[in-house]
Amino acid sequence: MDTLNLPARSWLFVPATRPERFAKAASSGADRIVIDLEDAVDSSAKPAARAALASAVLPAGVPLYVRINAFGSAWHEDDLTLVGKLPIRGILLPKAESSFHVAESARRLGPGQSIVAIIETALGLWDVLDVASGDRVERLAFGALDFGVDTGIRPDATEEMELAYARSRIVVASRVAGRSPPVDSVTPAIDDAVRLQRDAARARRFGFAGKLCIHPRQVDGIHQAFRPDAEESVWARGLLEALAARPESERGTFAYMGEMVDRPVIERAKLIQASGDQGSKLA
C-alpha cells in the first residue's frame, strides 16, 4: 500500500551501511523509512556508507528519508550533495537550531524534497519556532536522548515528566508554524513492548502524530498506540452520524450524549475516525 498521503505514525531507522536491509525495512509496515547516515554510522565509515547509499537500489512503495549529519559537521555538505540526487521524500536534519540551519540545508535539496528538523539541543528547543518556520520544513521530531545529553536532564524512565516542557513546546511550535504534528523520540528498548506502548501513548497524549523507531518489531506497537480505542471510535462514529442526520442549518452546535458539540468537537471526531480507518486499512 502506498502510505504517502496517510498520517505518518512509525518512522523506522535503517543504517546506511546495511543496504541489504532497505527492502526488509520497507516491507515492515512502517509508514516512513529513514536511512541513517548519522548515529548508526561510525565516523570512519561515513564516506563508505555514503558511497554505498549512492549506488543502492532504493525500495518503492513507502516514503524514504535520509538522516544526514548535523549542520557544521565534517560530513554535512557531502551528505547534502548526495541526497539531493536521490529519489527520496526528504531528510531528517539532526540538531537543528535555527532557520539558517534549515535554509542552508534546504537550498541543496532536490525538487519536492522536505526537511524533518530534529530538536535535540537546548538551543534548538529555545528557538524551536524559528526552526519550525524554516524553508521546506515538513514537521519537527524530538531527539530526547541527545537532548538529555546536551541539557543534563535525566528523565525518569517510566513517565519522563522532566521532558514534558520540551515535548509541549515542540508540539505548540509546530502548530503555530502551520506544520504537520511532530514525531516523538525513539524507545531504545527494542524488546520491551510494555514500555513502547507506554511511550507511544504518552506521545499521542502530548499531541505527537508518530514516533521514531529503531527495529521492525516496534512498528506494530506504535501503530496500535496511535489507533483510537474502541470507545473513542464508537463515540466518533455516532457523533458524525448524528451530525449527518441533522439539517444543514442545525449543524453549528447541538447536544450529543449529554454534551454540547461544536466545531472543535466535530473536528476531533473526524480525526479519530480517520485514524481508525487508517488502522483498519494497514492492519
* Topology of the domain comprising 10-225: TIM Barrel (3.20.20)
Domain boundaries, the chain: 10-225, 230-282
Question: Above pLDDT 70, what percent of the chain?
Answer: 94
| Confidence check: pLDDT of 2 > 50 | no
C-alpha pair distances (Å), 35 with each of 26, 42, 58, 166, 270: 11, 14, 10, 26, 33
Range in 83-87, 134-138, 255-259 with the lowest mean pLDDT: 255-259
The answer to whether 67 touches 34, Cβ cutoff 8 Å, is: yes
Give pLDDT, residue 155: 92
pLDDT band at 278 (very low <50, low <70, confident <90, very high): low
Give pLDDT, residue 279: 54
pLDDT tens figures, 3-59: 444 569 999 999 999 999 999 999 999 999 999 999 999 999 999 999 999 999 999
Cβ neighbours, 10 Å, residue 274: 14
User: Grid coordinates standing for 211?
Assistant: 514516533
The answer to whether 127 touches 97, Cβ cutoff 8 Å, is: yes
Q: Chain-wide mean pLDDT for the chain?
A: 91
pLDDT tens figures, 90-132: 999 999 999 999 999 999 999 999 999 999 999 999 999 999 9
Give pLDDT, residue 3: 41
Give pLDDT, residue 277: 63
| Confidence check: pLDDT of 280 > 50 | no
User: Grid coordinates standing for 61?
Assistant: 512503495
